[in-house]
C-alpha cells in the first residue's frame, strides 16, 4: 500500500452521507500511519466523533470542504468519554486519523454521530433557558445585535462604560487584531455577577458561534473579570453577559492590545500544502509566530542544495510545543509520514535539534503540544553551514545505481553522507590487474559498516558469497589492505544496521600501493 500524504485529501475514503451514525474503520501500521475519510452532511447538524475501539493513541483532525482545519483532538487508549464535537453546516468534511504503533497493525473504529438541527440565524451563543427576565427567541447574528459596536482594529487601549440588565442583558463588541500580541479584557465597576466571554472566528466565516468561545471569566462587586492571553491575527468578539440577574448594573470594559508581532509576511499554514516556504536555507533564518489553542500547527518548508550541518532551535515559549522535521525522501513533492527527528519544549526548556543532512526538501512542524487553553509565541531559528561532499551526484543505493569510480590507477577519495535519510551508498570500481591497495572508511561520527564485493565469475552480479570485505557496524575507522585481483568491485557503505538515528559524513579512500 502506498503511503498517504499528510495532505492527501484526494485519496480520502468516501464514507458517504452521514444522517445518524456511521463507523469510520481503519488501521495504523508502521509504514502507513495516516488515514483520511470524506463525509457529507445534508443539513445543519450537531456532529460528534468518538472512539468505539482503539488499540493505540490517535491524533484526529477535522477539515471543512475548503480543507481548512475546524477541529482537532487526541483519542487516548483506555480513556472514557472523549469526543470531537462540532455544530456544522451542510457540506463536505474530512477526518484525518494519525497514529503510530510498534505492532504490525493496529485496527481502530471511530463512531460518527449526527443530530440534524433547525436552521435559525446563526447565533453568537446558544439560546439560554427560559427565564422571566430573558427573551426566549433565538439570538440573531452579532451584526444584527450590534451595528454600532464594531471597534475595528484594536490598537492600544479602548474603554467603554455601559449598563447591562433586564432590558439589555448582553452587550457585544467586535474587533480585529492585525498582528500577534498580548490581549487583556478587564470588566470592573460591577454591582452584581456578570460574565465576560471572548470569541474567536475560528472558521473565518464572519459569524461568532457558541463553539468559538475561547476564554471566559466572571466579575462581581467583589472583584473584576479578567481575560488575558497572547492572541493570533484574526476577528474576535467580547460578550458582557448579565446572566439571570433581575437588576441592572453599570460596567466599565477596558480592552488592551500590546503588539508582539511575528516577522512573517503570512501566517504559516496548518497543512503541509500551505506551509510557509523558507526557500533554500543558507546561513541563519529566524521565524517568529504563534501556536496554541487558536492556531494549533505551523508548517514550514526549506531545501538544502548541498550536504550541510543544520540545526533547528525553538525558544521564547510560555507553554508546551513540539518540533518535528520531515524529509521528502522520494522527491515527489509530497511529505509522507517520514519524520526523522523531533523534540519537545516548554516554558522552562527550549528545543534544539542538530544533524548533518543530505540535499533535498524538508518540512518543519511546530505543533501545540500542551492542548491547554492558551497560546504561545515562539522563535524558530534554522541554521545551515555547508559541509559538502566531493561528488557530482549522490551515490545510489543499489548496484545498478552505484557511483562509478572507474578503473583505479591512483588514489581515489569519495566524500559523502549516510544516515537515517540516506542509509546506503554504493560505489563501483575495477582493477585492470592484480593490485596492492588499501580500502579506508574514515571520519565517521556514527556507526557505519563497509562491505566490498568482487565479481569473481564476471557475470555482473554481486552475491553474498563474493564479499571480500565485511566490517563491523561502528564509528571506528575501517582499514583493509590486501592484494586485490583484477576485475570489477562493488563497495557498500551502510548505516541501515545502526541502532541509532542521525547521519554521518564519511571519507572512502582507495589507495593503491
For 8-21, write each residue's pLDDT tens digit: 677 788 888 888 88
Domains contained in the chain, number: 4
Average pLDDT on 196-210 reads: 88
Residues 470 and 376 in one domain: no
Asked which of 259, 289, 318 is the last residue of a domain, the reply is: 259
- 86 and 41 in a single domain? The answer is yes
Under 8 Å between Cβ of 487 and 458: yes
Residue 338 — very low, low, confident or very high, per pLDDT cuts 50/70/90? low
pLDDT at 429 over 70: yes
Tell me the pLDDT band of 190, cut-offs 50, 70 and 90.
Answer: very high
Those residues with Cβ within 8 angstroms of residue 352's Cβ, 6 or more apart along the chain or in another chain:
311, 312, 313, 343
Separation of alpha carbons 152 and 175, rounded Å = 5
282-293 tens-digit pLDDT: 999 999 999 998
Choose between 501 and 297: higher pLDDT.
297
Residue 187 has pLDDT above 70, yes or no: yes
Please indicate, yes or no, if residue 351 is contained in any of the structural domains. Answer: yes
Q: Mean pLDDT across the stretch 18-32?
A: 83
pLDDT of residue 139: 42
- DSSP, residue by residue, 168-210: --EEEEEEEESS-EEEEEEEE--SS-EEEEEEE-TT-SS---G
Instruction: Mark which of 327, 361, 386 sits at the end of a domain.
Output: 386
**Residues 240 and 285 placed together within one structural domain of the fold:** no
Whether residue 474 lies inside any domain: the answer is: yes
**Segment 205-226, tens digit of pLDDT:** 888 887 888 999 999 999 999 9
> Are 150 and 255 members of one domain?
yes
Choose the final residue of a domain: 322, 357, 386. Answer: 386
Q: For residues 289 and 370, state if they share a domain.
A: yes
Question: Is 187 a domain residue?
Answer: yes
Whether residue 205 lies inside any domain: the answer is: yes
Whether 507 and 411 map to the same domain: the answer is yes
Which residue would you say has higher pLDDT here, 285 or 502?
285
d(CA 223, CA 226): 9
**What's the pLDDT score for residue 37?**
92
Q: Which domain holds residue 102?
A: 9-116
pLDDT score of 3 more than 80: no
Q: Please, what is the average pLDDT of the chain?
A: 86
- Type and span of the H or E element at 441: strand 435-442
CATH code for the domain in which residue 74 is found: 2.60.120.380
391 in a structural domain: no
Residues 372-420: tens digit of each pLDDT? 568 999 999 999 999 999 999 999 999 999 999 999 999 999 999 999 8
Do residue 175 and residue 246 come from a single domain? yes
Same domain, 403 and 375: no
Does the residue 131 lie in any domain? no
303 and 215 share a domain? no
Number of neighbours of residue 103 by Cβ within 10 angstroms: 10
Across 68-72, 130-134, 259-263, 500-504, least confident range? 130-134
Same domain, 254 and 286: no
Same domain, 304 and 208: no
Residue 129 lies in a domain: no
pTM higher than 0.75, yes or no?
no
Residues 184 and 209 in one domain: yes
219 in any annotated domain: yes
Which of 262, 286, 265 minimizes the C-alpha distance to 276? 265
Amino acid at each position: 500500500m502506498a503511503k498517504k500524504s499528510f495532505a492527501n485529501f484526494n485519496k480520502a475514503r468516501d464514507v458517504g452521507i452521514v444522517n445518524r451514525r456511521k463507523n469510520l474503520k481503519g488501521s495504523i501500521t508502521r509504514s502507513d500511519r495516516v488515514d483520511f475519510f470524506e463525509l457529507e452532511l445534508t443539513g445543519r447538524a450537531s456532529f460528534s466523533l468518538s472512539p468505539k475501539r482503539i488499540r493505540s493513541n490517535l491524533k484526529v483532525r477535522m477539515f471543512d470542504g475548503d480543507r481548512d482545519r475546524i477541529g482537532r483532538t487526541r483519542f487516548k487508549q483506555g480513556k472514557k468519554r472523549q469526543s470531537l464535537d462540532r455544530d456544522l453546516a451542510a457540506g463536505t468534511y474530512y477526518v484525518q486519523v494519525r497514529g503510530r504503533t510498534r505492532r504490525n497493525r493496529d485496527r481502530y473504529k471511530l463512531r460518527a454521530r449526527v443530530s440534524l438541527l433547525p436552521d435559525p440565524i446563526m447565533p453568537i451563543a446558544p439560546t439560554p433557558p427560559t427565564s422571566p427576565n430573558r427573551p426566549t427567541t433565538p439570538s440573531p447574528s452579532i451584526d444584527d445585535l450590534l451595528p454600532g459596536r464594531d471597534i475595528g482594529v484594536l490598537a492600544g487601549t479602548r474603554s467603554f462604560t455601559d449598563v447591562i440588565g433586564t432590558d439589555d442583558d448582553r452587550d457585544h463588541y467586535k474587533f480585529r487584531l492585525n498582528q500577534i500580541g498580548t490581549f487583556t479584557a478587564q470588566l470592573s465597576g460591577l454591582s452584581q455577577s456578570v460574565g465576560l466571554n471572548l470569541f474567536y472566528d475560528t472558521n473565518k466565516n464572519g459569524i461568532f458561534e457558541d463553539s468559538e468561545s475561547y476564554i471566559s471569566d466572571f466579575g462581581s462587586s467583589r472583584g473584576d473579570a479578567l481575560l488575558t492571553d497572547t492572541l493570533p491575527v484574526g476577528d474576535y468578539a467580547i460578550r458582557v453577559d448579565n446572566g439571570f440577574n433581575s437588576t441592572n448594573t453599570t460596567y466599565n470594559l477596558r480592552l488592551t492590545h500590546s503588539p508582539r508581532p511575528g516577522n512573517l509576511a503570512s501566517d504559516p499554514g496548518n497543512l503541509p500544502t500551505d506551509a510557509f516556504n523558507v526557500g533554500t536555507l543558507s546561513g541563519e533564518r529566524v521565524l517568529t509566530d504563534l501556536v496554541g489553542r487558536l492556531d494549533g500547527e505551523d508548517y514550514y518548508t526549506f531545501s538544502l542544495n548541498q550536504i550541510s550541518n543544520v540545526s533547528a532551535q525553538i525558544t521564547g515559549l510560555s507553554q508546551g510545543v513540539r518540533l518535528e522535521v520531515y524529509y521528502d525522501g522520494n522527491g515527489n513533492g509530497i511529505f509522507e509520514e517520514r519524520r526523522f527527528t523531533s523534540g519537545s519544549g516548554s516554558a522552562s526548556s527550549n528545543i534544539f535539534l542538530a544533524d548533518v543532512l543530505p540535499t533535498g526538501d524538508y518540512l518543519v512542524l511546530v505543533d501545540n503540544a500542551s492542548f491547554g487553553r492558551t497560546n504561545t509565541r515562539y522563535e524558530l531559528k534554522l541554521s545551515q553551514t555547508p559541509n559538502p561532499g566531493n561528488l557530482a551526484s549522490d551515490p545510489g543505493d543499489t548496484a545498478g545505481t552505484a557511483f562509478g569510480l572507474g578503473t583505479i590507477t591512483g588514489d581515489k577519495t569519495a566524500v559523502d553522507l549516510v544516515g537515517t535519510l540516506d542509509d546506503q551508498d554504493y560505489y563501483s570500481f575495477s582493477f585492470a590487474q592484480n593490485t596492492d591497495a588499501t580500502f579506508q572508511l574514515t571520519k565517521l561520527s556514527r556507526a557505519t559498516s563497509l562491505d566490498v564485493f568482487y565479481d569473481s565469475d564476471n557475470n555482473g552480479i554481486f552475491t553474498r558469497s563474493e564479499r571480500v570485505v565485511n566490517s563491523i557496524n561502528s564509528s571506528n575507522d575501517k582499514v583493509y589492505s590486501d592484494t586485490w585481483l583484477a576485475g570489477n568491485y562493488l563497495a557498500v557503505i551502510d548505516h541501515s544496521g545502526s541502532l541509532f538515528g542521525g547521519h554521518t559524513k564519511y571519507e572512502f579512500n582507495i589507495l593503491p600501493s
